[in-house]
Structure 1
Amino acid sequence: MAIHRSKSSQRSSPEVERLVADSISLAASGSQVEDRFWEGRLDERLLRLLKSQNQNAIDAALDQTFRINTIAFEVLADAAETLAESIRIEHDGQQWDALLLAIPIVAHTRYQIPSGPLPTTVVQATALALHNTVTAVDSRLAIVPWLYSIDQMPQSHCQTRVLTETLAMAAVTGSDIKLELRDMSETIAVLADPRFIVAVVAAPTGSPLFRWQAETPLRQERGVSLIGWQNAMHDPIASLLPGCEFELLLPEAYFTNCRLADKHVRPLSIRAAVNFLESTIGVLPAGLSSVVGAFGEEQADEYRISFSIKGSSEINYGVIWPLYDRESVANDALNDLSDDESPIKRICDALHDAGVEDVFRHAMLFDPELCDDCGAPLFPDRLGEQVHAEMPEDTPSQQPLFH
């Protein structure tokens, strides 16, 4: 998905160079008048690439700007996401603005988090709750009848744009959603993960999409909408996720909410791992040790967190804490706890909150290796070796591993 840092190594092309140049120019602009000029140029180029499904050029431009100008990277990333998740269409002489929504459900369990087709009753409950608590009075909706895992979501800006166009037309015209949902990828069994309902909200151009955009007396603050949404959807979602604890986040723009949900689930993944180890091998959190290391090819793209029984060198379990486009860590500060907002500080706080007291932090950057046999990520031990996480041999029935 385009919410992650790109790994493209494509050589520069004229399209890439123009995207990079326009992004740098927009980042350097000193006025709104100039902003609008460069925004128009940048949007025009990006739209051509999105319509021709040229994701490689977009990724290459993002890579270049990330390396040479972080402000330009933010500009380009925001423009690409905006054009992928929003669209203006005309129907019966009326202009409509449409926005793709990701509706996150952040869940954790000791069993398995479901995904798959949404019952008609849940789709109807979602539409009613959105209209009553979140979207503006004159808005229209199209809701995909599927509960998505993150690996089933569109994996690029181009794919996201296609989904936005399909749902926007269905929302505005009131027609059926034409999507092929039968060939969805298999969902990886993990203990803490977001699930998503995906929808489009559309409104006449110039009209609000959300209740917090409306004028008084129809205006409703986001916090009020969130409480109303959570109350309305608790029972329908509980029926979908038996054996799971979950939190409903506010329906919002696609890319923003994908990042928010993934960040929200990271500390829950640590807590779920500790709970799993306690229930499976009977070790209290204080009896666990953890090793944390940063992984990436040139810079940290993720942290990998190993768990073992205190006093043992065997790694029994592992959790990944991914970093996203707007997060970066200098290679000389990979284990620096002085910044309260740093990833390593958040990881250590989450471990301590879960009851793990013995935490070892590596200061080096590891190459992100995978197991040659099963493809699972390898995790660091105290000696700096990357090893496969293996549960003790006498562990009872194996449950889904969280990687």
Structure 2
Amino acid sequence: MTVHRSKSSQRASPEAERLVADAISLAASGSQIEDRFWEGRLSARLLKLMTSQNQNVIDAALDQTFRINTVAFEVLADCAETLAESQTMTVDKESWDVLLLALPIVAHTRYQIQSGPLPVKVIESVAMAMHASIAASDTRLAIVPWLYSIDQMPHSHCQTRILTEALGTAAITASEMKLELRNMSETIAVLADPRFIIAAIAAPSGSPLFRWQAEPPVRQERGVSLIEWQTAMREPISSLLPGCEFELLLPEAYFTNCRLADKQVRPLSIRAAVNFLETAVGAQPNGLSCVVGAFGEEQADEYRIAFSLKGSPDVMYGVIWPMYDRETVSNDALNDINDDESPIKKICDALKEAGVEDVFRHAVLFSPELCDDCGAPLFPDRHGEVVHAEMPEDTPTQQPLFH
């Protein structure tokens, strides 16, 4: 999945400029008929770029709109995501609507979160639960036999569209999907992280994909579908992720659910850090203190949370709270906890819920520095210095990471 945080002010290519112009025009449109005109033109340009695997032009256009027009950025991002995760396919003269789905599992543990091949029994459980609780009648499914970590997911719109097409074809024709799963990147050992099952759902064009789209009496509300999904999948996922606590999110469109899972895991990463420090150094939550600072080049891209023993100036551990495309905070409100939707308020609430009472907030934007030797992120101390997090000497040498 893509996260667009503009870093460069270099002039974009003519192709990117045309995308930007169309996105701005669509954002300024005042009628549905004009919307359709600009949507058609923008979609045609994007589809041509995705077909030729020209992701750099799409990224450049997203970066430029992010800098100059946030509404146009939303328009362009939505259009690119839609083309990447959905298609209309024709097979044997019949038209099908295809949507790529992410089935998120937001997990945390004191041990290890598994990823890799999915057992046949779990795949069968997913298919049964999808047809029983999520998918509308007359739909077809294709499920990738792999439990993905975030590092293994498609990282661009172009790659996502290729996956959508492969899974859509497999779902419609009930054929074997043509995917290379042997050379997946290694998963970083993280104690709070989402895992994903990826699937495609296909329905005859114009008919419902999901139960909540159907007409009564077949129609079922999303909340009911979620409860049934969680109930049906609790045991299969427990066997797949031993020693983990987890939450199952509603199967939904790929990009929406990737963002939602990333956001859901952030408070869990704080809880996992507190649990780990209690085990590793014997520190109770109320015996910890935290320093929180915003990091970024020109705007906040993430917050870094430094953990210390109460009364000690030494940073022994750190957690990163990333921000995503559609999250922003002005540089004069980096430590403002009056807004319930602000990142710093959510961080402080998560620390409080984890039992950490001593929290110091910096009001300045730090440069996102990394250690020159090992590449690890540096974390803020109370004096405003960014330092390497170092566990006490008598703690285990194998240290897990957090989101």
User: Which TM-score band applies after superposition, normalised by the shorter structure?
Assistant: over 0.9
Distance 1:40 1:76 in 2: 12
Please, what TM-score do these two structures have when normalized by structure 2? 0.98
Please, what TM-score do these two structures have when normalized by structure 1? 0.98
- 2:18 counterpart of 1:18: yes
Quick check: 2:134–2:210 contact (8 Å CA) kept in 1? yes
1:44 match: secondary structure: helix
Quick check: 2:307–2:316 contact (8 Å CA) kept in 1? yes
1:318 match: secondary structure: strand
Q: Deviations over 1:230-273 (max 9, x none)?
A: 01111110011000000100000000000000100101110110
User: 2:135 maps to what in 1?
Assistant: 135
Distance 2:332 2:3 in 1: 25
User: 1:378 maps to what in 2?
Assistant: 378
The amino acid of 1:283's aligned partner reads A
* 1:88–1:11 CA distance, 2 compared to 1 (3 A): same
The amino acid of 1:84's aligned partner reads A
Quick check: 2:20–2:65 contact (8 Å CA) kept in 1? yes
Quick check: 1:24–1:69 contact (8 Å CA) kept in 2? yes
Quick check: 1:3–1:259 contact (8 Å CA) kept in 2? no
User: 1:53 maps to what in 2?
Assistant: 53
Mapping of residues 183-198 of structure 1, within 5 Å: 183-198=183-198
The amino acid of 1:81's aligned partner reads E
Deviation (angstroms), 1:11: 3.2
User: 2:213 maps to what in 1?
Assistant: 213
1:49 match: secondary structure: helix
Deviation (angstroms), 1:10: 5.6
2:279 match: secondary structure: helix
Distance 1:398 1:14 in 2: 50
Quick check: 1:10–1:56 contact (8 Å CA) kept in 2? no
2:308 match: secondary structure: strand
Quick check: 1:8–1:56 contact (8 Å CA) kept in 2? no
Mapping of residues 104-143 of structure 1, within 5 Å: 104-143=104-143
Distance 1:170 1:10 in 2: 42
Distance 2:329 2:161 in 1: 31
Quick check: 1:11–1:60 contact (8 Å CA) kept in 2? no
- 2:162 counterpart of 1:152: no
Distance 2:6 2:233 in 1: 35
1:362 match: secondary structure: strand
2:15 match: secondary structure: helix
Matched pairs, number: 403
Distance 1:9 1:115 in 2: 38
- 2:388 counterpart of 1:388: yes
The amino acid of 1:76's aligned partner reads L
1:383 match: secondary structure: coil
Deviation (angstroms), 1:395: 1.1
Q: Deviations over 1:139-189 (max 9, x none)?
A: 000100000001110011111111111111111111001111111111111
1:392 match: secondary structure: coil
User: 2:103 maps to what in 1?
Assistant: 103
Distance 1:363 1:248 in 2: 36
Deviation (angstroms), 1:207: 0.5
Distance 2:153 2:11 in 1: 27
Quick check: 1:370–1:377 contact (8 Å CA) kept in 2? yes
Deviation (angstroms), 1:377: 1.1
User: 1:323 maps to what in 2?
Assistant: 323
1:154 match: secondary structure: coil
Quick check: 1:8–1:59 contact (8 Å CA) kept in 2? no
The amino acid of 2:199's aligned partner reads A
Quick check: 1:112–1:189 contact (8 Å CA) kept in 2? yes
User: 1:305 maps to what in 2?
Assistant: 305
Distance 1:395 1:9 in 2: 45
Identity %: 78
Quick check: 1:106–1:246 contact (8 Å CA) kept in 2? yes
Distance 1:247 1:29 in 2: 40
Quick check: 1:301–1:324 contact (8 Å CA) kept in 2? yes
Distance 1:275 1:210 in 2: 38
1:324 match: secondary structure: coil
Distance 1:325 1:145 in 2: 29
The amino acid of 1:94's aligned partner reads E
1:361 match: secondary structure: strand
Quick check: 1:3–1:258 contact (8 Å CA) kept in 2? no
Quick check: 2:4–2:63 contact (8 Å CA) kept in 1? no
The amino acid of 2:246's aligned partner reads F
- 2:247 counterpart of 1:255: no
Unaligned residue ranges in structure 2 (runs of 5+): none
Q: Deviations over 1:340-389 (max 9, x none)?
A: 11000110111111111111111111111112222211111111111111
Deviation (angstroms), 1:4: 4.8
Deviation (angstroms), 1:70: 0.6
1:393 match: secondary structure: coil
Mapping of residues 147-296 of structure 1, within 5 Å: 147-296=147-296
User: 2:37 maps to what in 1?
Assistant: 37
Quick check: 1:8–1:60 contact (8 Å CA) kept in 2? no
User: CA-atom RMSD, angstroms?
Assistant: 1.1
Distance 1:399 1:296 in 2: 26
